[in-house]
Structure 1
């Protein structure tokens, strides 16, 4: 892809990174607030076969808001970890969103977010049955070598993980996955 820089077009690679836009940040914030406010009620209503305003709000957040906010504020490491986890066979039967949920915890660890933010994400995902630990993903006996393989896959130059605003290496990704598992295990008591 080429981007226009002044009078000249320059090649752009995802790995070059990009700054979140003001609009992207606000849309991402609105998406998060909607998920936190209406997520559990929507989950319960949908499981009961009901279409409520909370369900409608979550549908809007998942399709419209996340689609608009993703371009510059997408949960880049969450998707990068999802993509990389597919190198481990036990994760193959899990759905995209399930692996991304665990990846969100990894993203928060990579960005060194505060404990309250990590706890909020872990509690929310666990409350609606999303995986937050390696065991939840069928990876009860994952080795450090396996996680290093995941870290290496995550560092593919085309991966969205490169949008994370911190320097990354395969080892940092592997260690963040292990740390995210330990943190979520402590929080959930599993």
Structure 2
């Protein structure tokens, strides 16, 4: 198996870099479609339009409907095709960005990703997480290349709700542990080969930055201000976790997240919030040392991530429902099978219940 690392062609991060968007888009095309939901459109449309005007770029804004589903991808692809655009720009959260990547792939045009939050590691990856129109996990969709440009405006991130930044920490929290499991099992990664040492190092650095700067970044974001710690966490949540998960591998934490989407009680949670509990569950599943499990639980408590089912809204423990979650996590093709041992739904159910008790 070849060792492979993949990443965006360009990653740009800093306060107010949104104002330079046109300069980064111009080399890719002079006519672009901008995908954003209604709230984000109101937040950035004026700045984006000014930036595009300075570069003589024609920008067409199209409203994103809220779910990265096949019908929504088809709708927006048709809009982009009608406008005969040369590139697609996605501005917003993870589902908007994943939809932009899907539209770009459908039309074989460049993709520029502009997150307004640092809530997931989706921005840098060559894949989209596709959901049903009702919000349940459907599939991973893989592309032949990563986004052409990723632009992270940390001032916008600092002004977003703190819960979103913390959710990104939850997503990033799994990166090192899933990479470690993948290394032990020798399974292939989402990059299509074995992990490189560089990707593994980025995954570990991601975890180290979370532990050192996570709480400080949360406090800065609580005050809608940037800081060195927040800058570091934005890079960890987005770039380090993005390269780390894609080129070092996913394992149980994300599969358990996918299973949890079956629980209606968890539908209000963000992706990273469910992944955080999935990480604790993975550590229990692999019988990690209690010192390590406690470190992760303490971190989650400090920044406000769920550590048990009650935190996630599951007020009644129904083992039959949780077994369905475990079965979904163990479905054929799920990343839980990258663990370095055979995993069954019964083992996952046991780990979920144990993680719940430990995190309570």
Please tell me whether the aligned partners of residues 330 and 337 of structure 2 are also in contact (alpha carbons under 8 angstroms): yes
Please tell me whether the aligned partners of residues 276 and 300 of structure 2 are also in contact (alpha carbons under 8 angstroms): yes
Higher mean C-alpha deviation, range 69-78 or range 26-35: 69-78
Q: Which residue of 2 aligns with 1:128?
A: 303
Equivalent of residue 211 in structure 2, options 33, 36, 41: 36
CA-to-partner distance for each residue in 1:88-131, whole Å, 9 max, x for gaps?
A: 11011111111011111001111211111111110111111111
Q: In the aligned structure 1, how far is the partner of 2:239 from the partner of 2:317?
A: 36
CA-to-partner distance for each residue in 1:149-190, whole Å, 9 max, x for gaps?
A: 1110001122222222221001111111001111111xxxxx
Higher mean C-alpha deviation, range 23-32 or range 95-104: 23-32
Once the two structures are TM-superposed, the CA of residue 72 in structure 1 deviates from its matched residue by 4.6
Higher relative contact order (CA 8 A, sep 6+): 1
Q: 3-state DSSP class of the match of 1:172?
A: helix
1:143-154 matches, within 5 Å, as 143-154=318-329
Q: Which residue of 2 aligns with 1:95?
A: 270
1:42-81 matches, within 5 Å, as 42-74=217-249, 76-81=251-256
Please tell me whether the aligned partners of residues 255 and 334 of structure 2 are also in contact (alpha carbons under 8 angstroms): yes
Matched, 1:162 2:332: no
Please tell me whether the aligned partners of residues 195 and 249 of structure 2 are also in contact (alpha carbons under 8 angstroms): no
Q: Which runs of 5+ in 2 are unaligned?
A: 3-185, 189-193
CA-to-partner distance for each residue in 1:39-67, whole Å, 9 max, x for gaps?
A: 00001101111100100000000111001
Q: Judging by fraction of residues, say which structure has more strand.
A: 2
Q: Which residue of 2 aligns with 1:181?
A: 356
Q: Over aligned residues, Cα RMSD in angstroms? A: 1.8
Matched, 1:105 2:280: yes
Equivalent of residue 115 in structure 1, options 290, 293, 297: 290
Equivalent of residue 17 in structure 1, options 175, 178, 187: 187
| Higher alpha-carbon Rg | 2
Q: Judging by fraction of residues, say which structure has more helix.
A: 1
Aligned length: 172
Relative to structure 1, the CA distance from residue 131 to residue 27 in structure 2 (aligned partners, 3 Å threshold; closer, same or farther) is same
Q: In the aligned structure 1, how far is the partner of 2:266 from the partner of 2:345?
A: 19
Please tell me whether the aligned partners of residues 284 and 351 of structure 2 are also in contact (alpha carbons under 8 angstroms): yes
Q: 3-state DSSP class of the match of 1:135?
A: coil
Once the two structures are TM-superposed, the CA of residue 145 in structure 1 deviates from its matched residue by 1.0
Q: In the aligned structure 2, how far is the partner of 1:164 from the partner of 1:45?
A: 36
Please tell me whether the aligned partners of residues 220 and 227 of structure 2 are also in contact (alpha carbons under 8 angstroms): yes
Once the two structures are TM-superposed, the CA of residue 20 in structure 1 deviates from its matched residue by 4.5
Relative to structure 1, the CA distance from residue 48 to residue 74 in structure 2 (aligned partners, 3 Å threshold; closer, same or farther) is farther
Q: In the aligned structure 2, how far is the partner of 1:170 from the partner of 1:57?
A: 37
Q: 3-state DSSP class of the match of 2:359?
A: helix
